[in-house]
Amino acid sequence: MVYKIKALKLKNRFFLAPMLEPNDIAFRMLCKKAGAGLVYTGMVSPLTKDEIVLDDKPAIQIFCNTPRGVREFIKKYDKKVSLWDLNLGCPSDLAKKHGFGCYLHPKIGEIEKILQEMRKTTKKPITIKIRISNRTCEIIKIAEKYCDAICIHPRTKEQGYSGQPDIEFARKVKKEIGIPLIYSGNVNEKNAQALLKEFDFVMVGRSAIGNPNIFAKLNNSKVIKNPFKDYLKLAKKYKLKFAQIKTQSMNFTKGIKGAGKIREKLSKAKTIEEIEKIYGF
């Protein structure tokens, strides 16, 4: 069966959520191989001068607080991406410092200008990812004019990633909007199927870190036999920095017997060869 956001065809309704540190190109490609219907980059500034590797044709999440640079950025990468997303949910100190993510909510006029610029520049699907604030419903109404789907993470910025998401708020949004709703927040292997019955798409975040096979399990498809070994091959291919590979090597110990001791050894590793030795490759 084929699912769609606008003209974008998707093989299933489970997405890899945008996460800044875990979502390098190697990890995204692995999640896609495991069965993710769509993978997102971490948040990227339109003003970045760094080249972004997009061989997996992901969704790109933009973070900004003005339309500055958005047009040029989209034009540069538009052919290489599946979808464009505006970050209106990040609660981090970085977001607070620069006034983007959920800290942009008071500036609804600026949000509309950014979305207008995005819509003028691309024919690809556009989404926003948003948290709960006293302006969320107002922002969603504006976003419906420009977006092809909305992603709701029903927590406040004060909650961060702790506490229970307000599922009732998400249900209310689902009833009131006329475009697809993507649900995000505490999604795991136990609750994902139930959430899929209520929402159009479901986004998996922290439960996927070090665990790309969650997508294979959710889709009842073949798991990747040795995911970190595959990750390492891709990391070498794309010349990822050692610090990133080392962090991911510790993430991938999730569920392994004696994971604590393995992570302790990995934390002291100085080379990829040492990491391979610890993993027994």
Provide the residue-wise pLDDT of the chain in tens; the chain has 281 residues: 889 999 999 999 999 999 999 999 999 999 999 999 999 999 999 999 999 999 999 999 999 999 999 999 999 999 999 999 999 999 999 999 999 999 999 999 999 999 999 999 999 999 999 999 999 999 999 999 999 999 999 999 999 999 899 999 999 999 999 999 999 999 999 999 999 999 999 999 999 999 999 999 999 999 999 999 999 999 999 999 999 999 999 999 998 889 999 999 999 999 999 999 999 98
Residues 93 and 157 sit within 8 Å (Cβ to Cβ): no
**What is the rounded (10 degree) CA torsion for 49, 53, 58, 64?**
-10
Alpha carbon distance 229, 48 (integer Å): 31
Alpha carbon distance 33, 224 (integer Å): 8
Strand partners, 127: 85, 149
Give the start-to-end residue ranges of the domains of the chain. 3-218, 241-279
Give me the residue label for tokens 């690809």: 124
Fold held by 3-218: TIM Barrel (3.20.20)
Query: In 74-148, which ranges are E strands?
Result: 83-88, 126-132
One-letter amino acid identity for 260? G
* Gap between the terminal Cα atoms of the chain: 38
